[in-house]
Chains A and B, each alone.
Chain A
Amino acid sequence: MEQVLNYIGENMEMVYFLLLAILLGVEVISNVPAILHTPLMSGANAIHGVVVVGAIIVMLQASPDNYLALSVGFLAVLVGTLNVIGGFVVTDRMLEMFKKKPKKS
């Protein structure tokens, strides 16, 4: 138990960060019109693609002769990039349609 508390104490900054970010996420999203739910989900989907940064860090830390880490890391970078790029492009395509059309009257 003491060790658990120690671990939390050592990472207190992160824990604060975690809690504030959770509240921020709830706050930012709670006033969204239903019309934007799908684009929003898609945009959020692209943002969690930030996990690719972790994949890049893994690759940079791996020693060049650790082929297992290199190949798995390569795969991680690849799929992470798919998530980021695909997510942003799809969201942009959806939102493109929402642009105001010139009114004919």
Chain B
Amino acid sequence: MSLNILEICYLIASLTFILGLKMLSNPDSARKGNLIAAAGMLIAIIATITLYQDYDSGKLINYGLIFLGLIVGTVIGTIMAQRVQMTSMPQMVSFFNGMGGACAALIAIIEFQSHQHSTVTGFDGELLVMLLGLLIGSVSFSGSIIAYGKLEGKIQDKVLPMNQVINMAMLGAIIVLIIYQMVSGSDPIFFYALLVIALIYGVLFVMPIGGADMPVVISLLNSFTGMAAAFGGFLYGNKAMLTGGILVGSAGTILTILMCKAMNRSLTNVLLGAFGSAAPNGAKPASGDQSVREISITDAAVLLSYSQSVVIVPGYGLAVAQAQHICHELEKLLEEKGVEVNYAIHPVAGRMPGHMNVLLAEADVPYERMQEMEEINSKFTNTDVVVVIGANDVVNPAAKNDPSSPIYGMPILEVDQAKNVIILKRGMAAGYAGIENELFFYPKTRMLFGDAKATLQKLTAEVKEV
């Protein structure tokens, strides 16, 4: 009886996960979707505690520890999530993701302890599920923690000599360890060897990847943890864990592919831990006779104030300088002067897809003003001034007209169609892809060098004066 109720609770939880994810993909219903999924999670947890086993008075310790874990986890999790800055969101997501991976790996370890006494002959499906759960959970845990540390700036990028070869060798060792145990039975030594190698692999996998690429990795690790949770669900025949885990596994994979596409990279490169160190081939070398034209703050302010329409292109530089608030202030000032201001958001602007939208939303920029690439690209021809803040590769025309460029084919914001372009930049350094941007040398382009936040502050003050 109580087991049937439990199954129904899991059914409800599974439905809320699907519904929640669906609603999360629409801006109007997203917040409700998140709450619905959370409610489903609560149902699944409470139902498991109360209905999984008839109350056993001999297991008071177990119940006590479960509640202690739930309470401590809730308190710490809430405090961390409430305190984190909006700009640090990606590493926070990565950290929580790592916790989920750790949970899946720990479950596999305990199950392995009790599984050792069983005498299964022949193909041991349970063991396979355990080994995979351990493997993916551990990789996800150590990888996420490294990603967290790197985004926090606590861990530096490091590329070991022959990193790729080592990674491949470890991957090989992992496969051998799993096959060996499947053929000749489980053995604690090999089981823990797998755990250790998986943990190291997670570290080496994320270590060489550059900061701007981290979103792809976090998204990938996110889908890994989903798979690890699904293996746990398979182990217990638990439908809520299965649905939740697989949904995230497949959704996360799609999200990862979408991000890779927008950055013009292949997933194979990501999996081998190769990108970030990939040398740009065939990039046009900077020719010496080209020179850029600077614009003074005053001139820029005048130009902006007397325009009909202005489009702001925010990028990684704006996120790093935390200049979203001052940017919104400038936008409001211009609006008061009758200038139409919009934001053009490239799919991979900021540190994660959509991260820029979150940052701008934090600064109270209305949702309607943030326009996606497809939408805004047709409007650039009617735009008087484009202000590019801390973005580079996403506005590089080479992606459209230079087949030899490494970023050729990447979708870009076609700001070169606008009448004037002002580029806020720290210096002439190349962008993430390490290539020259010919846009900077166009006659209609003017450069405004300096820190994004400081420059915007000065610019805003000037616009007030005009």
Contact = CB atoms under 8 A, between A and B. Distances in A.
B228 interface: yes
B243 A21 contact: yes
B226 A48 contact: yes
B25 A28 contact: yes
B358 A38 contact: yes
B123 A3 contact: yes
B73 A79 contact: yes
Given A58-B110, A77-B69, A81-B73, A43 B49 contact: no
Given A45-B93, A47-B21, A53-B241, A69 B114 contact: yes
Interface in A60-97: 60-62, 64, 68-70, 72-97
Interface residues of B, number: 117
A37 B355 CA distance: 8
A62 B69 CA distance: 15
B81 interface: yes
A25 B246 contact: yes
B315 interface: no
A19 B52 CA distance: 26
A82 B74 CA distance: 6
A69 B113 contact: yes
B125 to A, nearest CB: 4
Determine which residue in A23, A50, A82 has the highest number of CB atoms from chain B within 10 A of its CB, and name it.
A50
A41 B352 contact: yes
B96 interface: yes
Interface stretch (B197-205, B250-258, B388-396): B250-258
A57 B236 contact: yes
B141 to A, nearest CB: 9
B396 to A, nearest CB: 19
Contacts of A47: 17, 20-21, 37, 41, 226, 244, 247-248
B33 A86 contact: no
A64 B243 CA distance: 30
B102 A34 contact: no
B240 A89 contact: no
Contacts of B232: 51, 54
Contact of A44 (B111, B122, B251, B362): B251
A60 B81 CA distance: 29
A54 B235 contact: yes
A62 B247 contact: no
Interface string A19-43: 0011111101111111111111111
B125 A34 contact: no
Nearest to A23: B250
B73 A82 contact: yes
Those 4 A-B pairs whose CB atoms lie nearest each other, nearest first = A81-B73, A25-B250, A77-B69, A85-B77
Interface of A: 3-4, 6-7, 11, 14, 17-18, 21-26, 28-62, 64, 68-70, 72-101, 103
Given A46-B38, A50-B241, 8 more contacts: A21-B242, A37-B352, A41-B352, A58-B110, A80-B99, A87-B93, A94-B358, A101-B364
